Structure 1
Amino acid sequence: MKVSPRLALFEKKVFAWALYDWANSAFATTVMVVFFPLYFRQTMTAGLDGATSTFWLGMVNGISSFVLAVLAPWLGALADRGNAHLRFLIAFTVIGAIPTALLAFVGPGDWIAAAVLFAIASLGFWGGLTFYDSMLVQIAPRERMDLVSGFGFAMGYLGGALLLSLNVSMYARPALFGLADAQMAIRASFITVALWWLVFAIPLFRHGPRGATRPAIGALRAAREGFVELARTFRAVRRYRPIVLFLLSYWLYIDGVNTIMKMSVDYGLALGLPPGSLIMAILMIQFIGFPATLLFGWLGQRVSPLAGIFVAIGVYGAVTFYAVSMTTAGEFYVMAAAIGCVQGAIQAMSRSYYGRLIPVERAGEFYGFYNMMGKFAAVLGPLLMGTTALLTGNSRTAILSVGVLFLGGAVMLVVTMRAAGRAPSACQAGSVKAGQRAGSTR
């Protein structure tokens, strides 16, 4: 009996996988996007000027992403040899959740301790996503990959929005929750995020794909084999030009997405917008993102994920130019609504389109390479924006610099389409042949 695609989303393994996005998105929304930038600027770096605070926040985000990108081959080899992706996901969840909770106990002005804890928590968040994303090919058949990928991101938006709503209520009316003031509410929100992350990750920990156990290897051997595997995968990727071109395109435009996600609240504060308005704008993004990402998942399955990616890049490019002249909270709400329509879509469609390009029999290797590129993509944007703000002393110029990443990504995506013959099925066939040729050299 054929299962409806909509019903298939609620299969135990699929729903548990999507629920992890619900769990860890609390860190992305409450901590990474809203309250840590707010707390960092207003409390931790209160004695520094705005441009310097933006610089250090960009440095923290960029350096943590760079460290993870460097470690990715080693982690991938260590996990692959023991088929331990799920165990590594559990470990990185703990690495992310505990420092998040500890942020609640950092004193005012101690911005170095706050930055270190935030960097470690970010490593846990992004590192966990490396192993989470690689499970997509085990969770979903290729014909439902767009829909399932979109479902995961949509669940993330909904889960992140619900907890952020609670945290915003705590921030707006701390006495109602037995808290002394708004600053104490921010501290308490860090603890709620850690608990939310751990509790809702349990279903995937219980029902996630485990695979056959392989012999374990030592750390040094894993490190050596990790970089050998990286070189081997890179040689295989080079044999199929559309994959190379898409990864270059993805590296550029997803860097812009990550930068706007991480730095938008800091940018709003630099413009003098009230914190309450910025928080409400982030909530708008989350609640709009839930149905919008589901819609783009359906679009990707019925038409092509490339259509969704191009629409999203166009919207993001327009947003960067719009933000330069933005002066009011109402204008920030307009920007937030536009971002909410496409933020989850561009992430979900990129993940599933790449799944169509790569050879099925080597999906683990190729997704490892994809995630490593994604982590390097989180380095350039925050550093570019932070450095531009420091050199010019103008946050408006800094946000405009991010538009270069979207323009470059769009151009490379057009080149990718031409190289692939504008047909995902042809891309898939070509990549399988390339994978078979590469596999014969092992």
Structure 2
Amino acid sequence: MKPLKKDVVAWALYDWGNSAFAATVMVVFFPVFFKQYWSADVSATESTFWLGMVNGIASFLLAIMAPLLGTLGDRGGSRLKFLLGFTVLGVLSTAGLGLVAQGQWQWAALLFALGSMGFWGGIIFYDSLLIDVAPRDRLDSISGFGYAIGYMGGGVLLAINVWMTLDPAFFGFADATEAVKASFISAAVWWALFAIPIFLFVRERPAPQRNPARSTLRQSFAELAATVREVRKYRAIVFFLLAYWMYIDGVNTIQKMAVDYGLAIGLESSRLIQAILMVQFIGFPAALLFGWIGQRLSPVLGIFICIAVYAVVTIYATMLNTVTEFFIMAAATGCVQGGIQSLSRSYYGSLIPPDRTGEFFGFYNMMSKFAAVLGPFLMGITALLTGNSRTAILSIVVLFIAGGALLVVAAKQKKQDFTQSTQRTQS
């Protein structure tokens, strides 16, 4: 394997840093702490409603703004500046969670929403920088390296934070509550510290010349509208985005379902955290392996393997009854979670125009944010028609089948576009 360049390592370290927010804040501590500490004196219905409203609005705004943000970043070669802005927003909001007093659930909900916007908004520009640091023939392995580093970084800090809550006196804290608050601050510091290298060592490709007579915002709207009108020129991209929307919706649904299943079968919170940690550390070598598969064999093949495993996991989930079976499901998910994410990112990167990465990754991340609709809808309709929740879960397999079929179409269209381009060049 070729040695990694300094800019590649710096780019990957950002994932190591911001994964602290994903693992420590989003997945583990915030959901529990919000219910048991910040909104303990408020009805569960009211606090859940407002938390859902605040975060739903923030996610929706970010989703619809993603392509425009990407276009703005492309125009002035300012994707790193946008990344810095969203990073600062995320870091400060995350640190702020550690200062919110008991009962102030409104502030906690708002800061979590702002932190989430910083996290997801930053990913738009972080993903687009893959094209700047990775040669076209190494997109898969470097994308996999980034995800692997992210899983490891998030897992390491989460393990430390869990230790802090289990033995607060060892770290000088009065109790577990103080340790959890410190965990939020540690996630912010971790994110900020490991974000520094990307701003020091990664350089964007020169931005194409633009019309200086028109404002940046106005021109960005015009370019975005032109891309939507000319989308037929990018048919492989359209088919891939539809495929991605389908199968990543299934992936997101499985991830959410796993936690509910763990609670349903009586899994203790400590065991649930153990399962989450296991997924983080399994994800590290698995993402590297799938990066190798994509590089040496085919990213499409790697994505198909992941889709197949997820389909089997979905079927297996309908028969889940014990803690051991839950851990088996979590381990299987950890083996392919990073792979399907990293290969999807790198394959998409191979399809898009190199000078418009921010804009096109804006569309990509928009699909990611909206990929939480079809799965719950399918499950709800199936449950209503059959009266069986296990059968409802089985309906998610439809998303993986549809996503796989559309991926075949996207791959064929890419090959066709390449053949036509080669013929035009030769003529």
- SS of 2:373's equivalent? helix
- Give me the whole-angstrom Cα distance separating, in 1, the residues matched to 2:19 and 2:265: 26
| Contact persistence 1:175–1:181 (CA under 8 A) | yes
1:177 paired with 2:147, answer no
Is residue 380 of structure 1 aligned with residue 376 of structure 2?
no
Alpha-carbon distance in structure 2 between the residues aligned to 1:404 and 1:6: 40
| Cα pair distance change 1:395/1:87, threshold 3 Å | farther
Unmatched 5+ residue regions in structure 2?
Answer: none
Counterpart Cα distance in 2 of 1:148 and 1:381: 31
Q: 2:226 aligns with which of 228, 232, 237?
A: 232
Measured after TM superposition, the shift of residue 337 of structure 1 is 0.5
CA contact (8 A) 2:140 2:346 kept: yes
Which of these residues, 263, 275, 284, is aligned with residue 281 of structure 1?
275
* Correspondence 1:159 to 2:153: yes
In the alignment, the residues of structure 1 paired with residue 74 and residue 232 of structure 2 have an alpha-carbon distance, to the nearest angstrom, of 22
Normalised to the residue count of structure 2, the TM-score between the two structures is: 0.86
Partner SS state of residue 273, structure 1: coil
Give the aligned residue type for 1:96.
G
Counting aligned pairs with the same residue, the percent is 57
2:228 paired with 1:242:
no
Q: TM-score, normalised by structure 1?
A: 0.83
CA-based RMSD of the aligned residues comes to 3.6
- 1:10-48 Cα offsets, whole Å, 9 max, x none, are x11111011111111111111111112222344445578
Q: Secondary structure at the match of 1:164?
A: helix
CA contact (8 A) 1:357 1:427 kept: no
* Number of aligned positions between the proteins: 423
The answer on whether the counterparts of 1:69 and 1:375 sit within 8 Å (CA) in structure 2 is: yes
- Distance in 2 (alpha carbons) for counterparts of 1:25 and 1:14: 17
Which residue in the other structure is 2:296 paired with?
302
Q: Give the Cα separation in 1 of the matches to 2:374 and 2:33.
A: 22
Shift of 1:243: 1.8
Which amino acid in the other structure matches residue 177 of structure 1?
A: F
Q: Is residue 143 from structure 1 mapped to residue 137 from structure 2 by the alignment?
A: yes
Residue type of the partner of 1:203? P
1:368 is aligned to: 362
The correspondence for 2:201, drawn from 199, 204, 207, is: 207
Confirm or deny: 8 A CA contact 1:149 1:352 kept in the other structure.
yes
Q: Encode CA deviations 1:180-223: one digit per residue, 9 max, x unaligned.
A: 333332222111100000001101111111444789999x9444
Give the 3 Å change call, closer, same or farther, for CA 67–344 of structure 1 in structure 2: same
How far did 1:309 drift? 0.8
| Residue 358 (1) aligns with residue 381 (2) | no
Question: Which residue of the partner structure matches residue 439 of structure 1?
Answer: none
Superposed displacement of residue 227, structure 1:
3.1
Deviation at 1:89, TM superposition (A): 0.6
Mark the runs of 5 or more structure 1 residues left unpaired by the alignment: 437-442
Residue identity matched to 1:165: A
Q: 1:88 aligns with which of 58, 79, 82?
A: 82
Counterpart of 1:254 (choices 231, 248, 259) is 248
Q: Say which is worse superposed, 200-209 or 58-67, in terms of deviation.
A: 58-67
Match in the other structure for 1:103? 97
Would you say the 8 A contact 2:86–2:121 is kept in 1? yes
